[in-house]
Amino acid sequence: MKKYAILTLSLVLFIFSSCFSQSFNEQLYKFGRVLNLVNTLYVDSVQEEELVEHAIIEMLHELDPHSIYISKEEVAAMNEPLEGSFEGIGIQFRLMEDTLLVVGVISSGPSEKVGLKNGDRIISVDGESIAGIGIKNQDILKMLRGDKGTLVNVEVVRRGVKKPIDFTITRDKIPIYSVDAGFITDDGFGYIKLNRFAKTTMEELSAVFDEFKDNSVKDIILDLSDNSGGYLDQAIDLADEFLEKNQLVVYTEGRSNPRKDYKATTKGRYEKGRLIIIVDEGSASASEIVAGAIQDWDRGAVIGRRTFGKGLVQRPFSLTDGSMIRLTVARYYTPTGRLIQKPYEEGYEEYAKDVYTRFNHGELLHEDSIKLPDSLSFETLINKRNVYGGGGIMPDYFIPLDTNRYSAYHYELLRKGVLFRFIGKYVDDNRENMTKSYPDINTFKKKFECNDDIIFELDTYAAENKVYRDSFDVVSPELEYLLKTHIKSLIAGDIWRTNEFYQIFNDINPYYIEARNILLDNKKYNELLNKK
């Protein structure tokens, strides 16, 4: 049987090789020869499928950080965060060197609520080690998924933190909507929080833009913080809402892919009016395309921190056994010609810890720690402002990372999942009275108060779950206010949804606060779009 398999493989390689150069044919024959020798002469029996799969993985790994192999078991599940729904802890992950690497934390999902972050490595689940034991993706899925309301304990290794961190996560129905929030603020601005670019993004946003138009909203705050990207066409369509006909949104170009331009059309509903886009180091790919186009055309102000820097275009290719590869075939460029992709020549490990490196260098905390050479400078297309390439989108206005935003007690409540379990219990116990007293979010915003009685209930519940307020430093009035506002926003989100959560939470959201202040100061807004 093995002889027939090798004969078939050799025939396939021969036919396949006829399409390529002599040099390529020699390498293809070389690989087939090695595989044949191992299969027929190696001292122990081998699994040909595993050998080929491992060879593919390692080959792609040497190319760039985003060309990947996806096993046939993973193919069915890989698009769930963009297209489907499920119950679990709400992460996207990849097995890297026998360790589960978190590559995406789904907005408003259970993992985000307790504080899991992209780049975390999960080393154990419910006390069972999953690192370095050759565990498979399907085994991980079985361990992490489960019925809504059930708990799972995970141990995480995080870059920059010396000891592993324990998280207790309550499984839930994972939200798949891409628009977390779309509402009109008290100042009359339109606010949109977008967590990804999914197939339905523009369909979801259409209703939001229509509501804005019906209420004569002129100015928009588009929050793309922690938006890791998604479908290119959705990003182009969103940029089209703000740009004029024939203005270039993005172009792609690769060795075997000639330059392709993507331009705006006449359908934009917000080609006029002030626009602010919020980004940070978690904003990637499609988010960077939108932010880069708006910045290059001086259409709006980009605020926050430098974006992730993912500007490689992947194309999926199905393989014969149901698996597939995502192969990088081109690069993204902004309208001025800036390359979005950050360097990756030093290897995957250095690439993966780039955000941690930025933090160590002070870039996330201090604007003057960001050093960019003049060779990376470009001019915007209208106002001739200086903008920079070299990886990611540099904002027009810097917002530092707030490392002291919450008290240590607050962080522990989040990390252990206690705060979110308490909110669920509190709302369940009081839902009937609350819905009667607060029939809508506006009434809730004005009348509901997170008073000392609620804090006492929280402290009691926390102690029952072995988180003791007395074990931490005394919480200052300012940090206690943040805790109370966070509780109020979470209650609103539980009663309604994330849209209402952000209507409360934005009172303590530094991104939104800065965006609002800029729009309230038209002189400051104009200065950002005209500074050299």
Query: Which residue has 């979110």 as its token pair?
Result: 420
CB atoms within 10 A of CB 428: 10
Q: E strands within 396-517?
A: 397-398
d(CA 197, CA 179) in angstroms, rounded, equals 9
230: exposed, middle or buried (Cβ count in 10 Å: 0-12, 13-18, 19+): buried
d(CA 36, CA 134) in angstroms, rounded, equals 25
Active-site annotation holder among 296, 298, 396, 494 = 296
Residue 56 tokens read as 């593919």
Instruction: Collapse the DSSP code of 105 into the 3-class scheme (helix H, G, I; strand E, B; otherwise coil) and give the result.
Output: strand
Instruction: Collapse the DSSP code of 499 into the 3-class scheme (helix H, G, I; strand E, B; otherwise coil) and give the result.
Output: helix
Instruction: Collapse the DSSP code of 128 into the 3-class scheme (helix H, G, I; strand E, B; otherwise coil) and give the result.
Output: strand
CB atoms within 10 A of CB 253: 15
Is there a catalytic annotation at residue 436? no
Radius of gyration from C-alpha coordinates of the chain: 25
d(CA 189, CA 60) in angstroms, rounded, equals 46
d(CA 65, CA 524) in angstroms, rounded, equals 39
Is there a catalytic annotation at residue 147? no
φ and ψ at residue 99, rounded to 5 degrees: -130, 140
Is there a catalytic annotation at residue 129? no
d(CA 491, CA 434) in angstroms, rounded, equals 10
d(CA 444, CA 430) in angstroms, rounded, equals 14
d(CA 305, CA 156) in angstroms, rounded, equals 26
CB under 8 A, 24+ apart: contacts of 465-474: 465/416, 465/418, 465/421, 467/409, 467/412, 467/413, 467/416, 467/418, 469/409, 472/407, 472/408, 472/409, 472/412, 473/407, 473/408
Q: Which residues pair with 379 in a beta bridge?
A: 386
Do the beta carbons of residue 166 and residue 153 sit within 8 Å?
yes
Active-site annotation holder among 310, 342, 416, 484 = 310
φ and ψ at residue 75, rounded to 5 degrees: -55, -45
Active-site annotation holder among 285, 287, 323, 407 = 285
d(CA 518, CA 301) in angstroms, rounded, equals 9
Residues whose CB falls within 8 Å of the CB of residue 136, separated by 6 or more in sequence, listed in order: 73, 95
The residues assigned a catalytic role are: 285, 296, 310
